[in-house]
């Protein structure tokens, strides 16, 4: 075995002296006399994979993460050496006595044969730029220390690290350390609690001094830890590192020369296509544990609908908390409490008649006195100890055992119960909750699709397979309907299945501020369809001001749900405070006005792997002032959103990124970029600004509870000089899979400007779900150039609330 003194000396299996080219399925192999092995996979011009095997053999299981451009992986995982889905890549590989050099059009990897140390460079403007080096004093663990997996990298001063999923604290992870060990962190501090609910070992390194960066993804299911420069050891210089408890060091380097968004897109592509979920999933979703915990739960649920109608609160769905499954004070998944819900079908269809779909809570652990426990144990559906007994865990004030989703029989059992207990009544979707699989003992064994392994080594795999089984049940029940699912926990690839949220947050102004950063971290980790419990889940009830500000922030996120379990028994509801109800109802209507844009962003996420939310520096990497850790965010590339996150504020200072002009959504006032402005921020008018060159779709139809209406309009900020502002949105039925067969349309809007004229083209393509020939297009009232519609006529031109509203009558297509 190699020692620190006698580190591996690698040789290339096929010595290379001349440039060559190859397929991604043919790795370059470096081996040492001790049996150590490094395999290099050139997967594309911008992605190279490094697999380090201290004993020459794979130790970890198959991968469920890698799905390049695909919607899923095989149920039992993908062979780790499977390179299907990656196209042919031309590269050169040359070696001499001291090093191996691999080059693509974008990446150069140099491997020192003495020790296997890797150095990485990225091509830009005809030159190579060094961006990352392994730590020269012990980068990998070749059996020197223990059985864990290590990777040590030199740390450059000024680097930013963004990602790792929903971490607490600042968006930039530099000088911090984080643990990925999914846990039920109820009432967590959004500023400091670690670990949390998700396992996403990917982050982007950005080097502002050169405006270059790269993504690193460690393909592991094991509990792991990232130290981003918090640790300091005099013997090794400045470094950061990754440690995993089990498996292999299997990492992907993703070049991102000009924008950190490229690494995010490519990582999302690498790990699978985000699910296109139904449009109603963007509506307001009511939720509280209090209703279903009440002895008259069905009546309380009916009152929610009555209050929505009374206050004209738009609502598309309701998250049915686990109290519907109770026997006494405990929860039993798939059990209906008939005393609380005497008429299940009537209850569900009553909601459906009002246009509100139900998303039922389900949990993956059977308590020891669950009515189906003995049946499941006898059938071998539970995670078991080595002695064949259930692997007992603490779960919801009782002892129970987790279901084992690496057993195909368990998946079949789960799907059958999702269909029989929920979907057959008309329940529309599943809320996969408490699915962190907190298994700590090495004595618990997962069946592993015929290759058993200690369950604690891949807990997040159980989470992923649970949500997949729930999705498959929904697909089997209604094949032509898009599944909608929610999951609290998850890992790499969860975006292929579910919408998510940041878990059981604590009610405070601090949480509001740091939840914003958590959502950005998730989006920069490939998970865009997310949100937070609006108003806070755990702790005190939010005072009216905090609730209003949280709603005014939450309306911009893909998931918008007000959910709570307040210490004093109160319920976070839109009508919680009579003095604020009208303002909250108005904010929810603003949310519905924005849904065409949000739906377009989710479509771009599905089609092109674009993150929905993004930090300012990711959209404007060359503006130094955007590097600051602020409280603003970009919603797509077109809208800058600046929530109020401090108590007592009635206005908001906002830095406007350089290189563009910006228009206030509320006043139409136009500001030059590269400066800070202070804008009014009344409760009902959250600060948002439109970026120059953007066209944003809106729904301008008057909407009321249970009376959906849709009419498209657009707002735009044309270029001041010559240029073409562009935008549009996808249109379909919003619920079925007909879009896969081409039953889908699109609005495309282009405004070509010069010194005197705006030439407007609004085109419709494909199969539109509704006809509309008169379209409103609004530009700031300061925009006085003549307007011409190239495929129709301008029938009205008026100024309304600071915006110049043009009504265009389009020619028939």
Q: Is residue 738 packed enough to be buried (19+ CB in 10 Å), middle (13-18) or exposed (0-12)?
A: middle
Predicted confidence at residue 591, as pLDDT, reads 98
User: Helix, strand or coil for residue 758?
Assistant: strand
Domain 11-270: CATH superfamily is: glycosyl hydrolase (family 31) (2.60.40.1760)
| Tokens found for residue 62 | 């198959």
Rg (CA), the chain: 27
Taken in order 69, 74, 75, 79, the sign of the CA dihedral is negative
H or E element in which residue 19 lies: none
Q: Which residues of the chain are in CATH 2.60.40.1760 domains?
A: 11-270
CA distances from 716 to 615, 639, 788 (A): 22, 11, 15
* Among candidate residues 795, 738, 786, 146, the one with its CA nearest the CA of residue 481: 738
pLDDT of res. 230 = 97
Helices 459-477, 408-421: axis angle to 10 degrees equals 50
> Three-state SS for 592?
helix
Angle at 737 between CA 732 and CA 743, to 5 degrees: 45
Residue 235 C-beta-side C-alpha neighbours within 13 Å: 2
> Residue 517 belongs to what H/E stretch?
helix 509-523
658, 772 contact by CB (below 8 A): no
Output the pLDDT for position 2. 41
* Span(s) in the chain for CATH 3.20.20.80: 279-362+407-602
Spatial CA neighbour of 288 closest among 87, 506, 481, 571: 571
Q: What fold is seen in the domain 613-810?
A: Immunoglobulin-like (2.60.40)
Q: How far apart are CA 275 and CA 284, in angstroms?
A: 19
Q: Where are the beta strands (DSSP E) in 32-126?
A: 37-44, 47-53, 92-95, 99-103, 107-112, 118-124
What's the burial of 545, exposed, middle or buried (CB within 10 Å: 0-12/13-18/19+)? middle
For residue 677, what are the β-bridge partners?
654
Residue 462, classed as helix, strand or coil, is helix
Residue for token pair 């890797």: 118
Asked if 31 contacts 13 with a C-beta cutoff of 8 angstroms, the reply is yes
Instruction: Give Cα 130 distance to the centre of its chain.
Output: 30
3-state SS string for 180-229: ECCCCCCCECCCCCCCCCEECCEEEEEECCCCEEEEEEECCCCCEEEECC
* Averages of pLDDT over each 10 residues, the chain, 813 residues: 69 71 78 95 97 94 96 97 93 94 97 97 96 96 92 96 98 98 97 98 97 97 98 96 97 96 98 98 96 96 97 98 96 97 97 98 98 98 96 93 98 98 98 97 97 97 98 98 98 98 98 98 98 97 98 98 93 97 98 98 98 98 95 98 98 98 98 98 98 98 92 98 97 98 98 98 96 96 98 96 97 77
**253 φ, ψ (degrees, to nearest 5):** -100, 125
**Peptide linkage before 195 cis (omega within 30 of 0):** yes
The CATH number corresponding to 279-362+407-602 among 3.20.20.80, 3.40.50.300, 1.10.10.10, 3.40.50.2300 equals 3.20.20.80
The pTM score is 0.97
pLDDT of residue 125: 93
CATH 2.60.40.1180 in the chain, residue ranges: 613-810
* pLDDT at residue 20, rounded to an integer: 60
Backbone φ and ψ for 444, nearest 5 degrees, come out as -85, 135
Compute the distance between CA of residue 510 and CA of residue 187 in angstroms, rounded to an integer. 12
Half-sphere exposure of 409 (CA within 13 A, CB side): 12
Distance of CA 648 to the CA centre of its chain: 31
Model pLDDT, residue 397 = 82
Element (H, E) at 728: strand 723-731
- Cβ(547)–Cβ(582) under 8 Å? no
Q: Omega before 83 cis (within 30°)? A: no
CA distances from 2 to 10, 20, 135, 149 (A): 12, 31, 18, 15
Contact 58, 80 (CB under 8 A): yes
Beta-bridge mates of residue 328: none
Give the span between the Cα atoms of 554 and 308, in whole angstroms: 18
What tokens appear for 349 in the block?
């269809």
User: Cβ atoms within 10 A of the Cβ of 708, count?
Assistant: 15
Rounded to the nearest angstrom, the gap between the alpha carbon of residue 366 and the centroid of all alpha carbons in its chain is 29
Cα 421 from Cα 341, distance rounded (Å): 13
Residues 229 and 208: beta-carbon distance below 8 Å: no
In this prediction, residue 396 carries a pLDDT of: 86
Q: Beta 745-753 vs 757-766: how paired, if at all?
A: antiparallel
What is the b/e burial string over 658-671, where b = at least 16 CB atoms within 10 angstroms of the residue's CB?
Answer: eebbbbbbbebebb
pLDDT of residue 3: 47
**Per-residue tokens: 308:** 């929505």
Instruction: Look at the chain and count its residues.
Output: 813
Q: How much is the pLDDT for 211?
A: 93
Asked whether the beta carbons of 431 and 289 are under 8 A apart, the reply is no
């Amino acid at each position: 075995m190699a020692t620190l003194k006698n580190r591996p000396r690698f040789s290339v299996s096929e010595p290379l002296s001349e440039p060559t080219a190859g397929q991604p399925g043919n790795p370059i192999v470096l081996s040492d006399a001790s049996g150590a092995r490094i395999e290099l996979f050139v997967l594309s011009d911008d992605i190279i994979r490094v697999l380090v095997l201290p004993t020459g053999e794979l130790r970890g299981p198959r991968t469920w993460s890698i799905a390049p451009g695909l919607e899923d992986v095989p149920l039992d995982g993908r062979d780790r050496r499977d390179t299907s889905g990656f196209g042919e890549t031309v590269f050169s590989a040359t070696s001499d006595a001291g090093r191996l050099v691999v080059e693509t059009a974008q990446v150069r990897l140099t491997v020192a044969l003495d020790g296997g140390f890797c150095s990485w460079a990225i091509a830009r403007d005809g030159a190579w730029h060094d961006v990352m080096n392994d730590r020269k004093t012990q980068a990998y663990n070749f059996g020197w220390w223990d059985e864990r997996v290590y990777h040590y990298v030199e740390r450059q001063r000024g680097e930013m690290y963004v990602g790792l999923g929903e971490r607490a604290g600042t968006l930039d992870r530099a000088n911090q350390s984080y643990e990925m060990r999914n846990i039920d962190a109820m009432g967590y501090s959004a500023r400091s609690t670690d670990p949390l609910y998700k396992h996403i070992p990917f982050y982007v390194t950005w080097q502002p001094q050169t405006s270059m960066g790269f993504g690193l993804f460690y393909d592991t299911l094991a509990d792991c830890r990232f130290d981003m420069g918090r640790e300091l050891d005099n013997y090794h210089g400045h470094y950061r590192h990754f440690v995993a408890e089990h498996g292999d060091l299997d990492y992907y380097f993703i070049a991102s020369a000009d924008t950190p968004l490229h690494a995010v897109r490519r990582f999302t592509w690498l790990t699978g296509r985000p699910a296109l979920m139904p449009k109603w999933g963007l509506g307001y979703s009511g939720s509280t544990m209090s209703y279903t915990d009440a002895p008259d739960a069905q009546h309380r649920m009916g009152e929610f609908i009555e209050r929505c109608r009374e206050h004209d609160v738009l609502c598309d769905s309701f998250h049915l908390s686990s109290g519907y499954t109770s026997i006494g004070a405990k929860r039993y998944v798939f059990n209906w409490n008939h005393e609380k819900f005497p008429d299940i079908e009537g209850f569900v269809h009553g909601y459906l008649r009002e246009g509100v779909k139900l998303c039922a809570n389900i949990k993956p652990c059977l308590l020891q006195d669950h009515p189906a426990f003995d049946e499941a144990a006898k059938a071998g559906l539970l995670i078991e100890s080595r002695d064949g007994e259930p692997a007992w865990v603490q779960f919801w004030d009782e002892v129970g055992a987790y279901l084992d989703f690496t057993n195909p029989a368990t998946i079949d059992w789960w799907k059958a119960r999702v269909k029989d207990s929920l979907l057959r009544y008309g329940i529309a979707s599943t809320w996969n909750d408490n699915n962190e699989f907190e298994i700590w003992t090495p004595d618990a064994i997962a069946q592993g699709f015929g290759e058993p392994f200690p369950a604690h080594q891949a807990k997040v795999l159980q989470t992923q397979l649970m949500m997949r089984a729930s999705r498959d049940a929904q697909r089997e029940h209604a094949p032509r309907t898009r599944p909608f699912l929610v999951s609290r926990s998850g890992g790499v690839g969860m975006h292929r299945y579910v919408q998510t949220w940041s878990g059981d947050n604590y009610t405070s102004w601090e949480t509001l501020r740091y939840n914003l950063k958590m959502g950005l971290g998730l989006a920069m980790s490939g998970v865009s369809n997310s949100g937070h419990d609006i108003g806070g889940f755990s702790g005190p009830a939010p005072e009216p001001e905090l609730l209003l500000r949280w709603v005014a922030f939450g309306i911009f996120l893909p998931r918008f749900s007000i959910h709570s379990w307040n210490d004093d028994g109160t319920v976070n509801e839109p009508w919680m405070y009579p003095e604020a109800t009208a303002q909250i109802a108005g904010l929810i209507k603003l949310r519905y006005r924005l849904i065409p844009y949000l739906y377009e962003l989710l479509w771009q996420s599905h089609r092109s792997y674009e993150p929905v939310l993004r930090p300012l520096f990711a959209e404007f990497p060359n503006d130094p002032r955007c590097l600051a850790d602020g409280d603003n965010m970009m919603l797509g590339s077109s809208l800058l959103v600046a929530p109020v996150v401090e108590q007592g504020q009635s206005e908001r200072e906002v830095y406007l990124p350089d290189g563009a002009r910006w228009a206030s959504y509320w006043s139409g006032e136009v500001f030059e970029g590269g400066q800070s402005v202070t804008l009014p921020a009344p409760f009902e008018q959250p600060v948002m600004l439109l970026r120059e060159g953007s066209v944003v779709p809106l729904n301008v139809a008057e909407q009321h509870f249970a009376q959906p209406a849709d009419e498209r309009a657009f707002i735009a900020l044309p270029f001041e000089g010559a240029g073409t502002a562009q935008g549009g949105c996808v249109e379909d039925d919003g619920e079925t899979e007909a879009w896969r067969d081409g039953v889908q349309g699109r609005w495309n809007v282009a405004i070509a400007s010069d010194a005197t004229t705006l030439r407007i083209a609004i085109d419709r393509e494909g199969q539109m779900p509704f006809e509309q020939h008169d379209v409103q297009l609004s530009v700031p009232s300061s925009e006085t150039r003549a307007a011409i519609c190239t495929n129709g006529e301008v029938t009205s031109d008026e100024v309304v609330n600071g915006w110049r509203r043009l009504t265009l009558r389009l020619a028939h297509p």
